Amino acid sequence: MFKKAFFIFLLFSVFTIQAKVSVNFPDFVVERIESEIEVQSTNDIKELPVVFNDSTITLHFEHNVAKIPFSLETEKELKLSAGNQTFTKTLKPIPLWLSVFPPLLAIVMALLFKEVISSLLIGLFFGAFTIEYFQSGFIDGLVNAFKKIIDTYIIGALNNWDHLAVIIFSTLIGGMVALISKNGGMKGVVNIISRYANTPKSGQFATWLLGVAIFFDDYANTLVVGHTMRSITDKLKISREKLSYLVDSTAAPVAAIAFVTTWIGAELGYISNGIENIDEIAQNEGPYSIFFHSLSYSFYPVFTLIFMLMLIWKGKDFGPMYKAEHRARTTGHISSQMAKIDNEIVDESELNTFEPLVGIHHKWYNAFIPVLVVIGGTILGLLYTGSEGNGHVWSDASLGFFKKLSIVIGNADSYSALLWSSLAGVFTALIMTLSQKIMSLSDAVESILAGFKTMMNAMIILILAWSLAEITDLLHTADFITNLLAGHVTPLLIPTVTFVLAALVAFSTGSSWGTMAILYPLMLPAAWNVGVEAGMEYAAIMPIFYNVVASVLAGSVLGDHCSPISDTTILSSLASSCNHIDHVKTQMPYALTVGSVAIFLGTLPAAMGISSFILFPAGIVILYFIVNYFGKTVEN
């Protein structure tokens, strides 16, 4: 016995004499969440016995680094001894419940201030202060939190290749949209479609079709379609309320589900952040693949577009919209107040960005070809990057075409594909503009830069959202939400809860992007963790996960449609010259009707395993029933 103890002591002494180590304790820890102490050795050793908090353990080194996992419930001094070296640090864990306050505060501030950017900043500051307070105390915590907002979290959000790719892609698309608007391309598309608008029904259909055709940006969609179709719909005695509804309710839904838009970069960024700590998903699927799968659960956007078609086809309306349409047809009063919107609501400079130059020919192909380049380039880029190292998939006879396509896109570098295609689109639009001598080079570049500026607000929201997401990740907010939901809410209800929550936040903030920024980093990890806690397998969790991805987006769009402070709602009123309150009052009943159908015949039953191939037709049938039996025919 004595010999054995002496041998262990001798072995321990040899290791510790030869090995010099440095120890990195974490700066802070969260209550009951596992953290790690990193031990680095100056010698090339594989194992080393040490004493950690009075217990002898053996460290296993890889590349001269070993890690010791631990968790704390109360304040405690950590002590690590390796031979004659001793390292100590006292840590006070941050209570897990505090982790929910940064995003919650952002939501509450948005409710109070009706503004997203300042709300995100307040949430970000509170999160940074929470972390710093448990390290440095109150005064130093305030000072350090203020400094770290910019030099740690915002710079950290920008110092990320994926994030920069999203910013560059979005601004390039914004620049292209502005240029093809200025050179008359967008107006040319409008002119072709509007030729067939000679009755109230065809005029509404032309407006809907334009809204779908200009799918790549909701702002451009709203401003161009509303402003251009206004004179046509006025002649056809279509109410300004109906024009605003058609403009507003095609803009966000189509931009949200199309795969090459100014939205897609942000959506992929949010999804990427949401899955980065879920190894099982990150190793099997990329953000673009998840987005494609989520389209099967995007009930609200799809139902909204179809619902509008039904209203047009049947020539019916109900609620306040029927009164507006009846007034316009019978009295010729296209607006209830026949007054312009208060110019203080929104600056019309954005509208001027998308106005074509005076005295030029409006050629549809000046818009069509650059957009086609972006779409085709994105598809080719996805196939090219997804096939690198996976070319054997195409020759695998055991896989169907769509399965092969899913595998390739899942492995694709979507950000590179979007960057290449957007740059190609801008160059194509620029070359076409210059070759036809529509604009000078300096004027064309100025137009592109003006398009960049239209994306500034959205980019600021994105950057702050990424910064706040980093805070919620450090504080393990998703773990808190998981603990709150697990055992209390069945995983099958998570998508519906997400949809309703997203709608409420978007209604309160007036920003679908701000809502996605807050909820994606919280709800995606929570959905996965709740499924795991319930004992579900990967294959069973993923449909619910895709549903949650779609529910954040769909709920954001619904809340945005109902919110009187939404930017797109205000812009729709502006572009259509409709009284803003009249637009909100007439659109909200339609949005809530479709939203209810989307929940009860889409999101909820889909989570229970009912196929989307059944739910989409069922929802469409119910919407037809509502239009047919509750709608009243409007005079033509």
Tell me the DSSP string of 104-117: HHHHHHHHHHS-HH
How far apart are the C-alpha atoms of 180 and 191, rounded to whole Å?
A: 14
Q: Are 254 and 246 in contact (CB under 8 A)?
A: no
- Which residue is it, tokens 């390290």? 135
As a whole number, the mean pLDDT across the chain is 81
H and E: helices and strands count for the chain: 29, 9
Distance between alpha carbon 467 and the CA centroid of its chain, in Å?
14
End-to-end alpha carbon distance in the chain: 103
Q: Which residue has the higher pLDDT, 430 or 168?
A: 430
Residue 439 located in a structural domain? no
Pair (305, 211) in one structural domain: yes
How far apart are the C-alpha atoms of 78 and 60, rounded to whole Å?
A: 20
Domain boundary among 45, 70, 93: 93
Pair (130, 197) in one structural domain: no
Number of domains comprising the chain: 3
Pair (268, 250) in one structural domain: yes
Residue 351 has pLDDT above 60, yes or no: no
> Taking residues 55-61, what's their average pLDDT?
88
In terms of Cβ atoms closer than 10 Å to its own Cβ (0-12, 13-18, 19+), residue 151 is exposed
Which residue type is seen at 500? V
Residue 180 located in a structural domain? no
Pair (78, 128) in one structural domain: no
Residue-level pLDDT at 429? 93
Pair (89, 106) in one structural domain: no
**pLDDT tens, 186-223?**
888 778 877 777 888 888 898 898 888 776 667 666 76
Domain boundary among 159, 177, 209: 159
Could you tell me the CATH number of the domain that includes residue 77? 2.60.40.1930
Q: Residue 14: pLDDT band by 50, 70, 90 thresholds?
A: very low
Q: Are 327 and 239 in contact (CB under 8 A)?
A: yes
Q: Residue 343: pLDDT band by 50, 70, 90 thresholds?
A: very low
Pair (348, 463) in one structural domain: yes
Residue-level pLDDT at 267? 80
Residue 346 located in a structural domain? yes
Pair (277, 300) in one structural domain: yes
Residue-level pLDDT at 15? 46
How far apart are the C-alpha atoms of 216 and 170, rounded to whole Å?
A: 10
Pair (330, 226) in one structural domain: yes
Which residues have CB under 8 Å from 344's CB, separation 6+?
Answer: none
Torsion angles phi and psi, residue 626, rounded to 5: -60, -50
Residue-level pLDDT at 581? 77
| Token pair belonging to 349 | 């400079």
250-to-218, 243, 301, 602, 629 alpha-carbon distances in Å? 8, 11, 9, 20, 24
Pair (494, 608) in one structural domain: yes
Pair (291, 316) in one structural domain: yes
Residue-level pLDDT at 102? 85
Residue 75 located in a structural domain? yes
- Alpha-helical (H) ranges within 258-364 are 264-275, 279-282, 287-294, 299-314, 320-331, 349-353
Residue 497 located in a structural domain? yes
Pair (473, 613) in one structural domain: yes
Q: Which residue has the higher pLDDT, 579 or 299?
A: 299
Residue-level pLDDT at 364? 85
Domain boundary among 49, 65, 93: 93
Residue 418 located in a structural domain? no
Residue-level pLDDT at 491? 85
**pLDDT tens, 360-401?**
888 889 988 987 888 788 778 877 887 776 667 777 776 666
> Taking residues 1-23, what's their average pLDDT?
55
Residue 371 located in a structural domain? no
Pair (330, 210) in one structural domain: yes
Residue-level pLDDT at 344? 38
Which residue type is seen at 365? Y
Torsion angles phi and psi, residue 635, rounded to 5: -60, 140
Residue 128 has pLDDT above 90, yes or no: yes
Give this prediction's pTM: 0.67
Q: Are 635 and 326 in contact (CB under 8 A)?
A: yes
As a 3-state breakdown, the chain gives helix, strand, coil percent values, each rounded to 5, of 70, 10, 20
Enclosing domain of residue 16: 2-93
Residue-level pLDDT at 350? 54
